[in-house]
Amino acid sequence: MKFTKNMLALIIVSLLVSLAGATLPVQAQENTTQERLVVFESVGSDT
């Protein structure tokens, strides 16, 4: 019985840790400035 409870607790803790792990990088991304993409446009002559 005690073993079952421990297993249940372990599963819950694992779930919480994985959820936290999944959430933190997203929060970190939101705080990161997006890299600038430079667009070089040219118009050439066909002759």
Interface with other proteins by CB under 8 A: which residues?
Answer: 33-47
The nearest distance, CB 22 to other proteins, in angstroms, is 20
Question: 4 or 34, CB closer to other proteins?
Answer: 34
The nearest distance, CB 20 to other proteins, in angstroms, is 25
Residues belonging to the chain: 47
How far is the CA of 29 from the CAs of 4, 8, 20, 37, 42, in angstroms? 38, 32, 14, 17, 33
Question: 4 or 45, CB closer to other proteins?
Answer: 45
Q: What are the structure tokens assigned to 44, written together? A: 């050439």
